[in-house]
């Protein structure tokens, strides 16, 4: 069934009647999203008694609002402390933190919130009216297509390595090697586990994320009295409502960037297991490649904050589409939501939209309302949140280490993960001090296992025929887009360099 405008308006009014619950859920979600290791899935699991006790529509309003807010909240610590709240906000560190160090933390937070909320609203609105068609995308994206999509994200390593190609590729290679630790995807043969049973499922992402970003950044902070320079401190202290309005202006000057990167996130999110990490890195890489000033990425520009945050939140709608349409959760949080819905007797799949369409479409209408509520509640707070960076590092660094160590322990409850976090903290610190990019390591750790799993699965199905990667029309289109993404910017840069070399000679001839 395709929803009519009247039906959507009824769902909108119903969701809006629970504005107080949405406000509570989004507040919890933003706080949880800003704390590395405390994901939305863990929070919903802790609150299961509440979601199982209330009606299913109220439970879904609460869970969906919390999920959306946690996606947005991850950008706060990424920008102010260079510590991503979740894997999807890791790419935000590349430009968000440099902006904060310039004293533009408030504007960067505004960019993050506006991009998150606009991206989320665009994809939620698209999902409501295009759900029957978008659900079919999951049937066309198999292992072969996923290999190319993951390669889009991995090519970001080359972009990051542009300043020092050798060090960037070494860091990316190290990340890929770390990602290969664990049981083999086909035969379950342990690799480089050193006898530790805790590594048989692979190196857990949270300890790596917290170690290479949070712990190493805290160690770097201890070497100076403040994150900001004296000039940056003065800028932050003087900041007021003008900076918030300036950030809003910068964001809406790049409306098209917010829209198309959100759609990228939506498409990638529809594929079960893909996740916000891939969506954010792919969006950042594509925004950089097609930018008029790609050399500025990584130095602290608005586009570098908008692209990953919009895509990260666009992915939220995509995560829930396969859950509702085919009964397959797109991520961990969606899996927890499936448990709650099943407990309440909801039948997922095509029948959901025949028997209880108000619940299926109501999820995306709730998203629309939740992002709208956040847009008006978070922006006034950026003026005060940005002051966090003024805390002296002697106080800030121990707090970061204490909170993030708890966050690394929370997901699995193993002491082993705490030692792993400290080990990656030391590795991250050494990499930062010697000029190796920690983001390149993280890209390898996140995307390496996904690439290997899909490559091995495709080869296994095809009888080890490498031509299988060019056997699908969709895959061939993606290969062509990947080639264009890599070679067109290189060609444009070559032409610019050639024109720059020819200009002095023409000037000399004229003289």
Residue-wise pLDDT tens digits, 52-92: 888 888 999 999 999 999 888 888 888 888 888 777 788 89
Across all residues in the chain, what is the average pLDDT? 83
Is pLDDT at 508 greater than 60 in this prediction?
no
As a whole number of angstroms, the distance between CA 51 and CA 54 comes to 6
What pLDDT digit, counting tens, does each position of 278-307 carry? 888 889 988 887 888 888 888 889 999 999
- What residue spans define the domains of the chain? 5-510
DSSP, residue by residue, 15-82: HHTTHHHHHHHHHHHHHHHTSTT--HHHHHHHTHHHHHHS-HHHHHHHHHHHHHHHHHHHHHHHHHHS
Query: Pick the residue with more confidence: 32 or 234?
Result: 32
Q: What is the mean pLDDT of residues 136-143?
A: 68
Mean predicted confidence (pLDDT) in 363-385? 89
Q: What is this structure's pTM? A: 0.80
d(CA 232, CA 105): 10
Name the most confidently modeled range: 252-261, 317-326, 441-450: 252-261
Q: Residue 162: its pLDDT value, please?
A: 57
Res 121: pLDDT: 93
Distances (CA, A) of 43 to 51, 159, 330, 365, 499: 11, 35, 18, 22, 56
Share of the chain above pLDDT 90, in %: 18
The arithmetic mean of pLDDT across residues 18-41, rounded, is 85
Query: Is pLDDT above 70 for 161?
Result: no
Q: Which whole number is the average pLDDT over 426-451? A: 86
Q: For residue 506, what pLDDT is reported?
A: 53
Q: What are phi and psi of 190, to 5 degrees?
A: -70, 140
Per-residue pLDDT, 21: 92
pLDDT at 1: 56
In this prediction, residues 432-437 reach a mean pLDDT of: 85
pLDDT classification of 154: cutoffs 50, 70, 90? confident
pLDDT for the residue numbered 262: 93
- In this prediction, residue 136 has a pLDDT band, given cuts at 50, 70 and 90, of low
SS (H, E, C) 292-318: CCHHHCCCCCHHHHHHHHHHHHHHHHH
**Worst-scoring range by mean pLDDT, 269-283, 309-323, 488-502?**
488-502
225 touches 394 (CB < 8 A): yes
DSSP 210: I
pLDDT classification of 139: cutoffs 50, 70, 90: low
pLDDT at res. 233: 62
Residue range 387-415: mean pLDDT, rounded = 83
Judged against a pLDDT cut of 80, whether residue 411 lies above it is answered with no
The mean pLDDT value for 413-440 works out to 89
Q: Which two tokens stand for residue 231?
A: 């000039």
Does residue 336 surpass a pLDDT of 60?
yes
Contacts of 32 (CB under 8 A, 6+ apart): 38, 39, 40, 43, 66, 69, 70, 73
């Amino acid at each position: 069934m395709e929803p009519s405008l009247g039906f959507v308006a009824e769902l909108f009014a119903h969701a809006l009647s629970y504005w107080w619950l949405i406000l509570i859920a989004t507040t919890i979600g933003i706080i949880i999203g800003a704390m590395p290791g405390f994901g939305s899935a863990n929070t919903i699991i802790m609150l299961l008694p509440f979601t199982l006790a209330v009606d299913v529509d109220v439970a879904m309003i609460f869970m969906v609002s919390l999920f959306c807010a946690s996606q947005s909240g991850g950008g706060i610590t990424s920008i102010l402390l260079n510590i991503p709240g979740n894997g999807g906000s890791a790419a935000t560190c590349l430009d968000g933190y440099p902006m904060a160090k310039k004293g533009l933390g408030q504007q960067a937070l505004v960019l993050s919130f506006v991009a998150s909320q606009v991206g989320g609203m665009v994809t939620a609105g698209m999902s409501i009216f295009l759900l029957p068609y978008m659900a079919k995308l999951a049937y066309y994206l198999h292992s072969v297509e996923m290999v190319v999509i993951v390669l889009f994200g991995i090519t970001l390593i080359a972009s990051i390595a542009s300043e020092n190609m050798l060090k960037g590729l070494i860091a990316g290679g190290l990340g890929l090697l770390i990602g290969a630790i664990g049981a083999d995807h086909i035969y379950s043969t342990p690799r480089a586990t050193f006898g530790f049973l805790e590594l048989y499922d692979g190196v857990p992402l949270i300890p790596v994320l917290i170690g290479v970003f949070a712990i190493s950044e805290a160690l770097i902070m201890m070497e100076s009295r403040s994150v900001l320079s004296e000039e940056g401190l003065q800028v932050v202290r003087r900041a007021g409502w003008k900076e918030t309005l300036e950030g809003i202006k910068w964001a809406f000057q790049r409306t098209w960037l917010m829209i198309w990167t959100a759609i990228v996130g939506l498409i990638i999110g529809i594929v079960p297991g893909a996740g916000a990490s891939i969506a954010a890195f792919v969006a950042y890489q594509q925004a950089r490649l097609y930018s008029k000033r790609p050399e500025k990425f990584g130095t602290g520009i608005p586009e570098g904050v908008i692209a990953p945050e919009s895509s990260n939140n666009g992915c939220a709608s995509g995560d829930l589409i396969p859950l509702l349409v085919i009964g397959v959760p797109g991520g961990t949080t969606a899996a927890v939501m499936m448990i709650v819905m099943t407990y309440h007797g909801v039948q997922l799949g095509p029948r959901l939209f025949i028997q209880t369409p108000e619940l299926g479409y109501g999820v995306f209408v709730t998203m629309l309302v939740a992002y709208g509520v956040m847009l008006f509640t978070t922006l006034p707070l950026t003026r005060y949140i940005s002051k966090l960076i003024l805390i002296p590092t002697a106080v800030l660094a121990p707090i970061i280490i204490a909170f993030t160590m708890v966050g690394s322990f929370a997901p699995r409850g193993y002491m082993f993960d705490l030692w792993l976090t400290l080990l990656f903290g030391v590795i991250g610190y050494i990499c930062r001090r010697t000029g190796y990019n920690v983001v390149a390591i993280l890209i390898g750790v996140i995307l390496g296992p996904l690439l290997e799993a899909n490559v091995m699965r495709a080869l296994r199905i095809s009888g080890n025929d490498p031509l299988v990667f060019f056997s699908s029309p969709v895959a061939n289109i993606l290969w062509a887009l990947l080639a264009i993404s890599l070679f067109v910017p290189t060609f444009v840069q070559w032409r610019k360099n050639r024109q720059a070399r020819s200009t002095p000679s023409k000037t000399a001839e004229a003289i």
